[in-house]
Amino acid sequence: MTVRLRFSDLRAQPGLLTGLERLGEACWPGFLLHGDVRSWHLLPEEFPSFQTALLDPLGEPVAAGHCVPLSWDGTIGGLPSRIEEIIARASADLRSGRVAGAISALAVLVRPDMRGRGLSRAVLERMKILGSRRSCTCLIAPVRPVLKERWPLASMEAYAGWRDAEGAPVDPWIRTHWRMGASILAVAPDTLTVTESVAGWESWTGLSFPASGSYCIPGGLQPLEIDLEADRGTYRDPNLWMVHRIDASTGLPEDCDPDPGLDRVGDPPPGLAAPDAGPGGSAFTSRPRPWASWR
């Protein structure tokens, strides 16, 4: 039986906030809910129409997209370094009346039992068209690869370059963006930081940390650093900046049919290839360049 889903947002339905909070708790590794993002509360207050939800027939969110309009100069150097900076800059743009030429994603969430049905792509398309309504030219996204936790010792730069035998990114979330025409811009090494006591980290992870050092943890994309003398554990969450071109002619999806054949997260395909170096000899560069050159 086909289940019809529809989009809404916090401007149209402020009461969705509780459901969106529950969805976040179901989707994120628990420790990320304690990161140093202090301005998240500004999203429903200042950007309610950009906090979107895909609702089931009972009105419950099964997927969500959090984003903000943002001024960006089109260079890698001009990208925000952290989630907190994205929100702060968007808020400053709003208060100053500065024109935002881009949309920045903050999170795309899909309820665990609804994954593998193409809903994440539908949410990204929704973000792009919200940007189109404001004459934005691109969607930028700090992408958190869904399978990176299986290889926490691999650098994000190396992992982002892994390809399957057909040349597609191995990671399903990076691959979704790539198939939509997005390009990789740069690694964001520390989009948020979680700092807690050793006992707190042991409670969150179910692990024990008998000595200072680096530890791989469930849900972590890179190791947790434990300092027993300071009674402190520090985790920095790395992401991958990607950019989508926004086509003003694209129509706004108001509802969708889940597709069981898309965005499935599973074992990586065999035949991993080396990173695609491209004409410059590297898949990445630290030189500021206009985003259009990465299309």
- On the 0-12 / 13-18 / 19+ scale of CB atoms within 10 A, 261 is exposed
Q: Does residue 214 lie within any of the structural domains?
A: no
Is the predicted pLDDT of residue 242 greater than 60, yes or no? yes
3-class DSSP state for residue 98? coil
Provide the pLDDT for residue 248.
64
Those residues with Cβ within 8 angstroms of residue 167's Cβ, 6 or more apart along the chain or in another chain: 273, 276
Domain that holds residue 149: 17-191+239-280+289-294
Q: Does residue 82 lie within any of the structural domains?
A: yes
Q: Does residue 225 lie within any of the structural domains?
A: no
Torsion of the alpha carbons at 242, 248, 250 and 255, rounded to the nearest 10? 80
Provide the pLDDT for residue 171.
98
**With bands split at pLDDT 50, 70 and 90, how would you rate the model's confidence at 200?**
very high
Report d(CA 292, CA 74) in Å as an integer: 8
Is the predicted pLDDT of residue 235 greater than 80, yes or no? yes
Provide the pLDDT for residue 247.
80
Q: Does residue 203 lie within any of the structural domains?
A: no
pLDDT in tens, 88-112: 999 999 999 999 999 999 999 999 9
Those residues with Cβ within 8 angstroms of residue 3's Cβ, 6 or more apart along the chain or in another chain: 56, 57, 257, 258
pLDDT in tens, 107-160: 999 999 999 999 999 999 999 999 999 999 999 999 999 999 999 999 999 999
3-state helix, strand, coil in the chain (%, to 5): 30, 25, 45
Q: Does residue 136 lie within any of the structural domains?
A: yes
248/203: higher pLDDT: 203
Report d(CA 235, CA 201) in Å as an integer: 10
Distances (CA, A) of 61 to 43, 49, 87, 100, 279: 17, 15, 23, 28, 43
E-only strand ranges, the chain: 5-9, 51-55, 61-70, 102-110, 138-143, 183-196, 213-215, 224-227, 232-245, 255-256
Report d(CA 142, CA 108) in Å as an integer: 10
Provide the pLDDT for residue 254.
59
Q: Does residue 199 lie within any of the structural domains?
A: no
Provide the pLDDT for residue 270.
37
Which range, of 30-34, 174-178, 217-221, 255-259, averages the lowest pLDDT?
255-259
Report d(CA 17, CA 48) in Å as an integer: 10
Is the predicted pLDDT of residue 262 greater than 90, yes or no? no
In the chain, the number of structural domains is 1
Provide the pLDDT for residue 92.
97
Q: Does residue 35 lie within any of the structural domains?
A: yes
- On the 0-12 / 13-18 / 19+ scale of CB atoms within 10 A, 57 is exposed
- As a whole-number percent, the residues of the chain with pLDDT over 70 amount to 83
Q: What is the mean pLDDT of the chain?
A: 88
- Name the DSSP letter for residue 281: T
Is the predicted pLDDT of residue 287 greater than 60, yes or no? no
Provide the pLDDT for residue 284.
38
CATH classification at residue 114: 3.40.630.30
Is the predicted pLDDT of residue 3 greater than 90, yes or no? no
Q: Does residue 23 lie within any of the structural domains?
A: yes
